[in-house]
Structure formats: C-alpha cells, structure tokens
Amino acid sequence: MAGRRDPPEGTPEGLPGGGEDEYRSVVFDESFVRAARLQEFSAQERMAEHSRAVRSLPAWGRRTGAKQILVLVLLIAMAFGTAIYLGIRHPYQTPAYKPAEPLRITFIPLAPQGPVPGGTPADLYAHSPAANFRIGAAGINLPGARHTKSFSESQVMMALTTAKDYLVESSLDPDVLTGGSVRPIRLLLDPDQYGQFDRSMTSPAADGRHAASGWLVRYDPAKVALADPQVRVQGTLRVAEAGPDALEVTSDHTFAYALRPAGVNGTRAGDASLFTVRRELHFRFDRDDLRQHRAEVLVSYVQAGPQACSADTTGVLRPLLAGERGTASGPAGTDPYATGRPTAALCGTLAPGAQPSP
C-alpha cells in the first residue's frame, strides 16, 4: 500500500533512490498548499468583463499581516497623540516674553561745606577714605557663585560677571569718563532699553528716566580732565533669584576720581582734587540675557560730590575742583564712603570726613 507521501501508483521504477530524495526539495507541505489554494469563479462571474478566471482564497498569513499592520498604525497614532499631549501639558514650557522695565534714576549731588582740598593724586588718595581702595576693576570683586533653585552655578556667575563688566565700562573706562564712545555700555544692555539709553545720551532730562548720569559716569572734557586714570574702587555685589525665570544682582560701589581743570597750560601737580561717586545699581537677568551676556538695568541710585546743588548733572557730572566752593543746603554729613543703605535729600552736604586732608 502506498505511503502518505507516495503517488497512488507507488514510486516510479527506474528512479535513483526511489525518487523520494530527488523531489524532496520541491515538494510543499500541506500548510503551504492550503495557503495557496485557488478557487475557480462561477460561469456567471467569469462572464463579467475584466474578471479573472480564478480568485485566491484568504490565507491565514495574510490575515495575520493585516492585523500586524493595524496594530502598528494604532501604536503610531497613540505615540503621536501622547507627544502632542505632553507638548501642551509639560511643566517646563518656555516662559512668556516679558519686556525689560525702564531704568529708574535717582541722583543726589553732595555739596562741600568749604573749599575743595587740592594736592597731588597720590597725596589726596593717601589722606582720604579711599586710601585702601583697590585700583580699577580689581576693586569690583565677584562673590562666590552658588546655584539657586532655578539657576545653575555657571548661570549665577554669568550674571555677576556681566554686572561687573557693566560697572567697568560705565565707571572706569577713560574714554567714557571723558565724553567718548558709549557703545561698549550699550552692547551690554537688553535691546528693550536701547531707546531709553539712546535718548538719555542725546537728549538727557531730569525726569528720573533720561539722565545720562544714571547710566554712566561722564565729565565735560572741556572743563575736567583726569589727573590720574587709575580710579580707586571699593564695593560689593549681591545676587538673588527673582523667580524661576530671573536673577537679580545688586551692586553698591564707591569710586574715587582724581580730577584737574582741563585745557589750562602749566597746571601744577598740586591742582588735583578728588571727586567721589557712589553708585547703587540693580540689574535683572532673564535666561536670554544670561545666554547673550547682557543686562537689564532697573534702578540707579547715585551720590556724587563735591559739586554744587544747582549744577545740571543730567548730561555730565560737574565736579567742583580744587579751591572751589559750593553751597551746602541739604542734611549735614552725607558720606558717600559709608556702607549700608544710602540716604540723602535731593541735595546733600558732603561730610567733612569724606574729603581728603593732605
């Protein structure tokens, strides 16, 4: 009797090895045959135009493939929907744009109670409260930077460094002090403050918003010259977080300048005098400011003397030089070298101890 895989008539004679091994590679198993079954169309179906003679029966493999494709499409749709949901609901959205606030300026001139002392720059510094001040940028010390709740240590250091750069450019640069270019200062500002800064430089006004003396220290080069370009400086910088998207830095520094009259031939070395400026500035930095090395200057509180209370200081500072006198009409004893919260009326009186005694 023929086996399950033999032909009905048995294995043909004369074939090597009984023929089974020769055709094993081309004989398909039953599952393959079932999957490839063809069904003939009926006569009526074959009469239809463009109809094929046979049609393939649905196979298990095709059904499985269709299910896999459907599952894959559903998974992709779910992943896409989840991404959209998280993009809308995630807690770390980019904060809404907040324009920089305008700078608020308070300027207090300090009038001397007598004639302004004169001498050489070295003698004046040695006999003044600025005797132990450092020279130039070395006097603007950066405190240790520590990370805050929302800002890293490097971001805090960037805020402090930018504040120091602003102080150096606006208080120590000889070109700025003598009425030269202010572009280095402008580049350190948030672009939202460009308009206010430019108006303060070109059309200064005593309105608490547009006085050039609130942004920088500048003298009239036609009247005042630097007797010593090495300015003495002392002060502090403090940083604090002002919310999850902003850092604030407060600077409080006293600058001592050795000045002399400008354009006077044969000026003696002893004709120099000291002029003291105390600047308290409040800076604000959002994340864009930190990345682009710029600052928003929000508050500028300035005390400067010796100078007359009646002097117009909106555009430039107008110091009283050696031997000149001013009219003191404010509270006695305002000392720009004193630490702590600065207090003075609209015009203060320069404390005698703030003047050099060469």
pLDDT profile of the chain (358 residues), mean per 10? 52 51 56 58 60 54 69 84 65 61 95 92 96 97 93 97 98 96 97 98 95 97 95 97 95 97 68 96 97 97 94 94 76 68 69 82
Contact call for residues 140 and 164 (beta carbons, < 8 A): yes
34: exposed, middle or buried (Cβ count in 10 Å: 0-12, 13-18, 19+): exposed
Q: Are 123 and 114 in contact (CB under 8 A)?
A: no
Query: Which token pair is 151?
Result: 């800002």
Query: What whole-number distance in Å separates Cα of residue 84 and Cα of residue 90?
Result: 10
Burial of residue 13 (CB within 10 Å: 0-12, 13-18, 19+) is exposed
Structure tokens at 156: 């805090």
| 301/104 Cα distance (integer angstroms) | 8
* Tokens matching residue 93: 């959205």
**pTM, full prediction:** 0.71
213-260 pLDDT per residue, tens: 999 999 999 999 999 999 999 999 999 999 999 999 999 999 999 999
| pLDDT (0 to 100) of residue 282 | 98
- Residue 23 tokens, joined: 């055709």
* Cβ(287)–Cβ(178) below 8 Å: no
- Contact predicate 291/159, CB 8 Å: no
Q: What angle do CA 231, 232, 233 make, to 5 degrees?
A: 115
Over residues 159-194, the pLDDT tens digits come to: 999 999 999 999 999 999 999 999 999 999 999 999
How does strand 104-111 pair with strand 348-349?
A: parallel
Separation CA 261–CA 222 (nearest Å): 9
Number of H helices and E strands in the chain, helices first, is: 11, 9
Burial 101-129 (b: 16+ CB within 10 A, else e): ebbebbbbbbbbbeebbbbbbebbbebbb
